[in-house]
Chains A and B, each alone.
Chain A
C-alpha cells in the first residue's frame, strides 16, 4: 500500500509516515486546544476572550480577580489534605490486603477477593445516596474525612498490588524469613521496595482521580473549610452575574496547575512505572 520505492529511499520518510505524523499532530493540537484556550483567556483582558489577535495586551489581572473572588488557597489546602489522606490510607490498607491475598492461604480468600474485585465495577461514585446516609449517621457530613472515607479501600489498588506481589519470587521471602523478619518486616524490606513502580503509577492515578473528583464532594461538603477545588470552582462559576471565562480559566489554571506541572516533569517516569507495574 505504501508509495513505490519508499523502502529504497531510506532517508526519506514514507508517505505512510508523513500521513501518520500529520494525523498525530492534528489530534494532539485538537487535544491541546482547550488548554491553549484557557491560557489565552487567562493572560488577556476579558474583551479578548473571543478575539484571537496577537496584539492583545497581556495581563495578570484575571488571576488576581479569581484569587480575590473565592478562597482558592483554602480550597487548595483542602484538596491537598484530601488527596494525601486518601493516598496514605489507600497505600496502607491496599498493601496489607494485597499481601494477604498474594501470600497467605486462608479460608474464604477467593470469595473475598471476588468481593474486592466487585468494587472495580460498583464504585462508591454511584452509591451516593446510601453513602450519604451512612456519613450522616456517623455525623461526618461536611468534613474532609467524609470525602475520602468511601475511597480509602480501593479494589483497583488491592488488585494491582496483589498482581505485583505475586510476581515477586518466593525465594526472597524465604531468605528474609531465615533472617528472622516478621511478616510486616518482610513487607517493608522486600515487597514494598520491589513494588515501587506500582505504587508510583497507582499513586498518580489515585491523586489525579481524587483531585478531580466532583460529584461526591459536592454532595457531602457545604462549607469553605471542607470544599475541594473542584466544588469551589463550580460554586465560583455558577454565579448569577454570568460567565467571565477569563477569570474562570485563570482559576482553573491556578488550581490544576500544580498537577499539570507535576505531570509534565514526571511524565516519562509515569509511563515507565506503568510499564514496570505491569498495568496492561
Chain B
C-alpha cells in the first residue's frame, strides 16, 4: 500500500516541474530537429518539407564554418583560462593575505553586473585613440593607436577577455566553498612532512577539488556557447563575422533574417556539439574524480 502511495505522490510532486521542463526544454529540443527539415513560412508561402535542404545550405554556408571556428577558439580561450583564474582567486581569497575581502568583492562584482551593460565600458577600454588601452599604450610606451575591435585578428581575443572577466568570479565561489570544506589537518600534515606548497597543491588539494573542477568546467563549456550578450553591443559579430559565435548567428538567422528553418538546423548543430562535449568530458573526468 505504502508503495502505491509513494508512486502517486512522487508523480504528483514531480508533474508541475516536468510539465514546464518538457514544454520548454525537451519538446523544443526535439522539435528543433523536426523543424530543421522544413522551409521557413513567409507571407503567403506556407512551411513545407524540404528534407536535407537546410543541411546542404549549412555545409555550403561559409559564415557557419567561420562562426563554428570562432566558437571553437572562444571555448579554447575562455574555458581553461577562466577555470585557472577562478582557482587562483579562490586560493588567494581563502588565504590570510591582506586585502582578501576587498579582492573577493572585486572578483565577484562582474557576476552581478549585466554583460550587456558592462560591454559599453569595455567598448571604451578598446576604443582606438582615446580608449583606456590606447591611452596607456601611447602614454607609457609611445605606441601608435591600435584598433582592437576593428581588426579581425584581435576582435575575438577581445571578446574572450570580456567573457573571462565576467565568469571567473562566479566560478571562484564554487572553488572557495570547496576549499573551505577541506579539513585544515591535511595542510598541517603536509607541513609536518615538509612538503612544499606546490606539492601540497598538486598532490592533495587539486585532486580533492576535482569534483568542483568537473562542475565548473561543465558550466564553462555551456557558457562558451551562451555568453554572447557583449557581442550585440561591441561588434555585432563583425568585422566580417570575425567575432560572431554560434548562438549569436542563430539569433541573426532567426530574428533578423527570419529564416527559422535554417536557424533550427543551426540549433541542431549546437545540440549535437553540447552532447558530444558532455559525454566526452564525463568519460575524461570520470576516472580522475574522487567522489566524496
How many cross-chain pairs have Cβ atoms below 8 Å apart between A and B?
Answer: 291
Does A239 lie at the interface of the complex (its beta carbon under 8 Å from any beta carbon of B)? no
B-side interface mostly:
helix
Does A181 lie at the interface of the complex (its beta carbon under 8 Å from any beta carbon of B)? no
One of A23, A29, A133, A270 near B106 (C-beta < 8 A): A29
A 198-234 binary contact with B (CB < 8 Å = 1; else 0): 0000000000100110110011000000000110011
Residues of A close to B13: CB separation below 8 A: 96-97, 99-100, 104, 183
B 115-138 binary contact with A (CB < 8 Å = 1; else 0): 111101111110000111001000
Residues of A close to B173: CB separation below 8 A: 270-271, 274
A237 to B89, CA, bound (A): 33
Which residues of chain B from 79 to 138 have a CB within 8 Å of any chain A CB? 85, 88-89, 92-93, 95, 97-100, 102-118, 120-125, 130-132, 135
Does A269 lie at the interface of the complex (its beta carbon under 8 Å from any beta carbon of B)? no
Does A37 lie at the interface of the complex (its beta carbon under 8 Å from any beta carbon of B)? yes
- Shortest Cβ distance from residue B270 to the other chain A in the assembled complex, whole angstroms: 6
A75 to B180, CA, bound (A): 39
Residues of A close to B89: CB separation below 8 A: 24, 27
Task: Name the residue on A nearest B11 (C-beta).
Answer: A106
- Shortest Cβ distance from residue A150 to the other chain B in the assembled complex, whole angstroms: 4
A200 to B230, CA, bound (A): 28
Number of interface residues of A (CB under 8 A): 95
- Shortest Cβ distance from residue B141 to the other chain A in the assembled complex, whole angstroms: 18
A184 to B169, CA, bound (A): 37
Does B155 lie at the interface of the complex (its beta carbon under 8 Å from any beta carbon of A)? no
Q: Chain A interface (Cβ within 8 Å of chain B)? A: 1, 16-17, 20-21, 23-25, 27-29, 31-35, 37-38, 49-50, 92-94, 96-97, 99-101, 104-107, 109, 112, 115-116, 118-134, 149-153, 155, 158, 183, 208, 211-212, 214-215, 218-219, 229-230, 233-234, 237-238, 243, 245, 248-249, 251-252, 255-256, 259-260, 263-264, 267, 270-271, 274-275, 277-280
Kindly list the 8 A-B residue pairs having the minimum CB-CB distance in the complex, ordered from nearest: A130-B28, A153-B20, A280-B178, A104-B10, A106-B10, A97-B17, A100-B13, A150-B24
